[in-house]
Chain A
Amino acid sequence: MRAASLPLACALAISWTGCIPRQAGGGPQRAGRLEAVEALFEAQDHAGVIQALSGERIREFPRKARPRAYDLLGLSLQRNGDASRALQVFQLAEGVYPKDLNILTDLASLLQASGLDDRARPYYERVLRIHPNNARSHLGLAKIHRNQGYLALAEEHYERCLREWHMHAFIWREYGRVLADERKLGRAAEAARKALAIERAPDSLLLLASVDRAQGRRDESYSSLAEAAALEPRRTDLPLQRALWLLEDGRLDEAKSVASAVLKTAPAEPLAHWVRGSVALRRGFKMEAKMELAAAAAQEGTFISRAAKTMLEALP
């Protein structure tokens, strides 16, 4: 598939970039020009980078600078919202520089971001054959494996990635989620704590709270969740998670009160209505339950709506 599409991609990319570089040499003044393009890229002037590198301009760069020039052009096109042209440039560059790690990983990332996990995977794997410790490829593969259900492989790649990038909270968090999915709860909690040691983020607190709860540490889980909600009071998912846990624990008054508070800021929130309906149902107030469930069912196309309708049908 890739082999078949490569000539077409190359042809398209040639039409975009002018032609395949073939001129060797180049003076220091040209190297200076790449630095200027790098500066434009750093300043997020992607249109400027595209203008500086389009047409036949890339071939005016020294041979050694050209892979980076192609990479910058591809990245700028991507960030400018032109993913298909970015793909053409990366595929052309990958054909010409098949061992350039930046080009390979950026091509893989673009494919992955476009939902083409199966096509991204071989590029990441190729990078790892050249450079077995490449953190970005380990991270890319970890995400692909997680999406496709290979939790053990995802875990392994996250671990390899974290050896290099151990100061990124979100990677610890994603790793923790994989461990939690594998029911390796002790290690998941440890990963969440590592993420929190780097940055006190609500999502890390939520992960820790969920893992604590799964391990039966309910007080700790409520406390972490409360801290997360305090850090980001505009998020409705955190109080809703709290309401669901309170419901599970039979703390009906508190569950209803949290759901009602959510409805004050988000009156159409179907899950808050569902929680209030469930509280009414557990208390035997069928009319109130029906009213709340009908409100929850109003958001057509959601799972909450289907669940509420099923419950309404089952209510006498």
Chain B
Amino acid sequence: MRTASLLRLAAATLACALSCAPSGAAPPGESGGTPPSSRSWARSDELLRSHLWEQVRALPRGERPTVGVVLSAGAVRGLAHVGVLQVLQDAGFPIDAVAGTSMGAVIGALYSAGLDMERLRSLPERLTFRAGSDYTTFRLIRLFLADSPLSTEKFEGFITQEIGEKRFEELRTPFACVSMDLRTGEKIIFREGPVAPAVRASSNLPGLFKPVLYRHRYLVDGGVVDYIPIDAVQLLGADWVLASVTEGDFSRSMPTNMASTLSQIFDIRGALLSRQQRRQAQVLIEPDVGQVDFRDVTRAYEVIEKGMQATTERLPAAEESLILATLPGLMKRWSPKP
């Protein structure tokens, strides 16, 4: 009896060690699609959302609100916008116009030009500090000793390499980006002309990089004046706005050098500026990237994942908001013709 028990135990132990299904062969239960409780309306909500969403998606532009997507500044944190766009695209979310500042301008320009998502996701492999500036050890020493900022001229080449010498008018999705004129403090919204110099100007961190002399303007990063450029996307005709915001959590960091101090000042100013702009967006997506240092490229893929997660979570709310904005228009289509 005891031997039989031992054999069974040994067999069970061996089976456990070799099994592809530990803890017994039974898999855990099903997720999603479970039958509804008669007292809960969650399933009914889901059915109606899906029913109306298909109709909203099928409407041509002009018969539904013009959807604008706004991508905030945020350097490495801004790579979360790639994840945001990926989920929106997978869900078939209409995107009629895009506006961005700084890293938001970079991602927005590449997306609007029609770069496929796979290439956008691999951006961290190509978009290095060296690829975007004339950074060398010698230049860095000169930056500190001779107070001579780095140049981002190479960055224009990078954008051109990715999308060609495109003009704003030639982009697949209407796009705008924001910069600031250092001499007047004006916000400059680019929506026509060559894309590459405008994107370079929009992502030109003052202090580290030389201002860009373009169209008689002396331009630096747009994040200084417009962290979430909602008015830029509205200029492109958007009347329903989804904003992806990748602010840094400055309250928890203690900058110890020039670059991180500058970045922190940017974040603080950005947060102050964005308070008003946030209210203008119909839907806000805020990936959990506040703790990521603005130049920590080692966390680039994690940041993209955070963008995907935040968007997946907010997607039903975004769909509902756009459906409700479209419903009066849909009702006109449903009404019998006189």
Contact = CB atoms under 8 A, between A and B. Distances in A.
Contacts of A244: 47-48, 51
A116 B5 CA distance: 39
Contacts of B45: 302-304
Nearest to A42: B24
Contacts, number: 171
B102 to A, nearest CB: 25
Given A102-B23, A143-B31, A173-B33, A282 B336 contact: yes
B66 interface: no
Contacts of B48: 244, 271, 274, 303-304, 307
Contacts of A261: none
A311 B335 contact: no
Interface string A296-316: 000100111011001100110
B41 A302 contact: yes
Contacts of B334: 278, 281-282
A182 B90 contact: yes
A223 interface: no
Interface in B6-55: 6, 8-9, 12-13, 16-17, 19-23, 27-36, 38, 41, 43-45, 47-49, 51-52, 55
Contact of A131 (B20, B90, B323): B20
Interface residues of A, number: 78
B309 interface: yes
A135 B27 contact: yes
Interface in A37-70: 38, 64-65, 68
A233 to B, nearest CB: 12
A35 interface: yes
B108 to A, nearest CB: 20
A274 B12 CA distance: 56
Contacts of B51: 244, 247-248
A236 interface: yes
A148 B38 contact: no
A177 interface: yes
B268 interface: no
Contact of A101 (B22, B30, B36, B41): B22
A29 B3 CA distance: 10
Contacts of B331: 281, 311, 314-315
A165 B336 contact: no
Given A170-B30, A270-B44, A311-B327, A284 B336 contact: yes
B116 to A, nearest CB: 13
A212 to B, nearest CB: 15
Contacts of A283: 336
Contacts of A134: 20-22
A64 B13 contact: yes
A174 B32 contact: yes
A136 B308 CA distance: 24
Given A181-B90, A282-B335, A164 B36 contact: no
B328 interface: yes
Given A165-B27, A181-B90, A304-B41, A237 B47 contact: yes
Nearest to B327: A310
Given A35-B5, A271-B48, A310-B328, A237 B305 contact: no
Contacts of A284: 335-336
Contacts of B16: 68, 101-102
Interface in B296-338: 305, 308-309, 311-312, 315, 320, 323-324, 327-328, 331, 334-336
B311 A303 contact: no
Interface in A178-197: 181-183
B309 A237 contact: no
Best-buried of A29, A38, A237, A247 by chain B (most CB within 10 Å): A237
24 contacts: A28-B6, A32-B9, A102-B16, A102-B23, A127-B22, A136-B27, A148-B305, A149-B90, A149-B309, A161-B27, A232-B35, A235-B36, A237-B47, A241-B47, A269-B41, A270-B41, A274-B48, A282-B334, A282-B335, A302-B44, A307-B324, A310-B324, A314-B328, A314-B331
Interface of B: 2, 5-6, 8-9, 12-13, 16-17, 19-23, 27-36, 38, 41, 43-45, 47-49, 51-52, 55, 83, 86-87, 90, 92, 305, 308-309, 311-312, 315, 320, 323-324, 327-328, 331, 334-336
Those 8 A-B pairs whose CB atoms lie nearest each other, nearest first: A149-B312, A271-B44, A170-B30, A314-B328, A102-B22, A303-B45, A101-B22, A149-B308
Interface of A: 28-29, 31-32, 34-35, 38, 64-65, 68, 71, 75, 101-102, 105-106, 109, 127, 131, 133-136, 139-140, 143, 146-151, 161, 164-165, 168, 170-171, 173-174, 177, 181-183, 202-203, 206-207, 232, 234-237, 240-241, 244, 247-248, 266, 269-271, 274, 278, 281-284, 299, 302-304, 306-307, 310-311, 314-315
Given A136-B20, A171-B27, A311-B331, 8 more contacts: A31-B6, A32-B6, A35-B5, A161-B27, A165-B21, A266-B38, A271-B41, A303-B48
